[in-house]
Structures are given as C-alpha cells and as structure tokens.
C-alpha cells in the first residue's frame, strides 16, 4: 500500500505555498526522500531534519504534522509489510483528503 505519488504531490503543492514548492532543489530532495523505499526509518528522520532545517521549515505546522504521521504514509516505515488489497484506493484518497484539507 504505497501512497499515490501524484495525489500526495498535488496536496503537498497546495499546502506548501510561495517560492518553496517552486524551488527545484527542495522539490527534488523532498520527493526523493519521501518516496525512497530503500532507506530505514532512522535514516529518513535524519534526512527529514536536514531538509526541514535547511529550508527553515521548523515552524511550519503542516510539516510537523506530516512528520508526526510519517509511519502512516512514508514507505520506509511499512516497506516490509505486505499490504496489497487491505485498503481500497478510495479509502486511501478519503484519508489523505481529510489530512491535507486541514491545510488548504
């Protein structure tokens, strides 16, 4: 059950406004980190902190909330678990809509 990249990109681009999401370096590094299925959770957390600090996002509520829920949507936290068929696509969409609508 890996999250749908397009949908997450769409919602994240709505809540991350201004020059930040136009920043190609941020976008590339953020996406590379979030969708990396080959790293372990501790490495994800270190790299997340680096990006958050480098782009001065420590006070952004949306990033704090995303980090708090990381075990629900970051592949590094559930890559060893076979989850195919456990959740319908529409259920995932509704869950993600609920989370990201908080910030739009």
Distances (CA, A) of 55 to 21, 23, 42, 65, 102: 11, 10, 20, 17, 22
How far apart are the C-alpha atoms of 67 and 98, rounded to whole Å? 16
Predicted confidence (pLDDT) per residue in 9-37, tens digit: 566 666 666 677 788 898 889 888 988 88
pTM as predicted: 0.66
List of the chain residues with pLDDT < 70: 1-18, 79-104
Which residue in 71, 44, 61, 58 sits closest to 100, CA to CA? 61
Site of tokens 């270190």:
46
Count the helices and strands in the chain (H runs, E runs). Answer: 6, 0
């Amino acid at each position: 059950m890996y999250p749908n990249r397009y949908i997450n990109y769409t919602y994240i681009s709505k809540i991350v406004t201004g020059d930040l999401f136009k920043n190609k370096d941020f976008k590339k590094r953020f996406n590379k980190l979030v969708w990396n299925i080959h790293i372990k959770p501790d490495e994800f957390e270190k790299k997340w902190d680096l990006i958050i600090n480098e782009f001065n996002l420590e006070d952004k509520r949306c990033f704090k909330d995303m980090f708090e829920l990381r075990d629900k949507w970051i592949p590094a936290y559930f890559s060893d678990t076979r989850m195919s068929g456990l959740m319908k696509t529409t259920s995932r969409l509704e869950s993600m809509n609920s989370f990201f609508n908080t910030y739009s």
